[in-house]
Amino acid sequence: MKKIHIQWDKFRIQGLKKRWMMTTLLVIFLIDLLVVAAYSVSVIDNTYSTMSEGLATKARTATDFFTNYITRTYAEYYNSAYTYINNFDDAGNLELQFLNASGRLEISSHSMTSGTATDASDITDALSTGDIRGWEGYNQDTGEHLMAVSAPMIYSGGQVIGVMRYVTSLWLADAQIRSQILMAIAAGVAVMLLVAVLSMVFLQSVVEPMREITVAARQIANGSYGIQISHKYKDEIGEMVEAINEMSLKISQSEKAQTEFVSSVSHELRTPLTAITGWAETIIYDEDLDEDSKRGVGIILKEARRLTKMVEELLEFTRMQDGRFTLHAETMDVAAELEDTIFSYRELLRQDDMEIEYEPCLEELPLINGDPERLRQVFYNIFDNAAKYARAGKRITVSTSTDGDNVFIRIRDYGPGIPEDELERVKMKFYKGSSKERGSGIGLAVCDEIIKYHGGELTLSNAQGGGTMVTIRIPVEPTFQD
């Protein structure tokens, strides 16, 4: 069996990888985004809450001390405040402020101006409610991020005579928060990279076999029946490979059996058809035959010749399939062969009330290396098709041209054309499409193979304005197929 050798750089299957990676990474990105956002909110909330509670506890302890042990008179409150600030141990980390009942600053551990008015919400709330209140915001003058807690100072009799306030900078806390958030982002990126790497490894294990299977399927679709894919997979892909290999083998066996059958039947038909044609040609010239009988024998002769042509096409194609098809290449004038074919076929077309219009190339076509008999066979077959499928158009136009390296022959009819969905299949063997005309469906397949053997190309298209255009490209120096 044939084995497949694939050059991977010629095939780029990006669709599956792209869709998988975009979908997977998008989902992971959104999850990472939500997790990082939730973590960031949690870190910020926990950090600020912990600091605020710590300051509130500190302020509550200090104010309780003042209220229960120091504060006896209004004047003593201020004396005690001065003493407390002078002995304040956390002056390097916190600013301690004492404010009066009007919210004006009286004493500060940072030597702020006495009598300065402060409108922070924690101060006014503490004075109005008699409870500890906190605040977080930015210094209007410096832009520094601050946190403050204000605790009311209760005078004997329950009167609020001032506020003790702790103020701290949040730059260190903010730096820690940023550090933790960056670590969370880094972890999210690491997760995305890990998922991307694992996805690529997984996709590679899926896409590479799919590439091999795709190439094999295309080769089978193009007629390379019997090829086998290397069976090295143990999963569902292995089952697919096994199924395709089995399918390829069965198609190959079926194709071989079909070819052998067609060849056998074609050979069996040649002998009786030869006899029928020979006797019909003999009888039709019998002078004693009346007109009706002559007409009947003429029909027999015409149909026998048609069947003989079909049998010859089938035999020709089986020889191509079996590798028994040969070319007898020589230096030839393709324009002369084409013109001879046109001259021979023109009279036959006139019987069907059709004309051939020939437009030769303005410059002399170069000589090519080819098989004159096989190329003449191609021309005849294409003219046959044009006459059969486009007789309503009443004419066929033929033109030639060259680009120096190739000779181009264009044959156009003016019939109904070919349905677009059938254009790609009309050269397949036994394919007749939606046409009601009789035929084996093998003629164009034979023509296509002959042109391919010359290293050229035969293409069909619908001509602008209606009809079918057949374009034959033959290299001047062809590389013949084996």
Shared domain for 361 and 416, answered yes or no, is: yes
Shared domain for 431 and 457, answered yes or no, is: yes
The answer, yes or no, to whether residue 402 has pLDDT greater than 80, is yes
Give residue-wise pLDDT tens across range 125-177. 888 888 999 999 888 878 889 999 999 987 766 778 888 899 998 999 999 99
Domain annotation covers residue 392: yes
In this prediction, residue 112 has a pLDDT band, given cuts at 50, 70 and 90, of low
Shared domain for 343 and 468, answered yes or no, is: yes
- Residue with more model confidence, 65 or 332: 332
Domain annotation covers residue 380: yes
Hey, how many other C-beta atoms are within 10 angstroms of the C-beta on 429?
21
Shared domain for 358 and 268, answered yes or no, is: no
Shared domain for 361 and 466, answered yes or no, is: yes
Straight-line distance from the first to the last Cα atom of the chain, in angstroms, rounded to the nearest whole number: 19
Shared domain for 318 and 336, answered yes or no, is: no
Domain limit, last residue, from 288, 322, 356: 322
Which is nearest to 123 in space by CA: 59, 76, 78, 71?
A: 59
pLDDT for the residue numbered 8: 42
255: CATH: 1.10.287.130
Domain annotation covers residue 434: yes
Shared domain for 304 and 408, answered yes or no, is: no
384: CATH: 3.30.565.10
Shared domain for 335 and 459, answered yes or no, is: yes
Section 6-29 average pLDDT: 64
- Residue with more model confidence, 317 or 252: 252
Give residue-wise pLDDT tens across range 313-329. 777 767 666 666 677 88
Are 127 and 101 within 8 A, CB to CB? yes
- Residue with more model confidence, 118 or 285: 285
In this prediction, residue 42 has a pLDDT band, given cuts at 50, 70 and 90, of very high
The answer, yes or no, to whether residue 247 has pLDDT greater than 50, is yes
What residue numbers bound the domain in which 335 lies?
330-475
* Max mean pLDDT range (18-22, 268-272, 392-396, 469-473): 469-473
pLDDT for the residue numbered 262: 66
Give residue-wise pLDDT tens across range 59-75. 888 888 777 665 556 66
Domain annotation covers residue 82: no
Shared domain for 369 and 411, answered yes or no, is: yes
Domain limit, last residue, from 322, 340, 372: 322
Domain annotation covers residue 211: no
Section 457-481 average pLDDT: 83
The answer, yes or no, to whether residue 409 has pLDDT greater than 90, is yes
Mean pLDDT for all residues in the chain: 80
Domains in the chain: how many in total?
2
Q: Is this model's pTM higher than 0.85 or not?
A: no
Domain annotation covers residue 429: yes
How far from chain centre, in Å, is Cα 95? 64
Shared domain for 300 and 350, answered yes or no, is: no
Domain limit, last residue, from 298, 322, 346: 322
Block residue for tokens 């060259």 = 402
Domain annotation covers residue 363: yes
In this prediction, residue 245 has a pLDDT band, given cuts at 50, 70 and 90, of confident
Section 273-288 average pLDDT: 80
pLDDT for the residue numbered 5: 46
In this prediction, residue 3 has a pLDDT band, given cuts at 50, 70 and 90, of very low
In this prediction, residue 196 has a pLDDT band, given cuts at 50, 70 and 90, of confident
Shared domain for 404 and 453, answered yes or no, is: yes
- Residue with more model confidence, 348 or 358: 358
Structure tokens at 20: 């998988």
pLDDT for the residue numbered 183: 93
Domain annotation covers residue 471: yes
Shared domain for 402 and 468, answered yes or no, is: yes
Hey, how many other C-beta atoms are within 10 angstroms of the C-beta on 12?
9
Structure tokens at 261: 């059958």
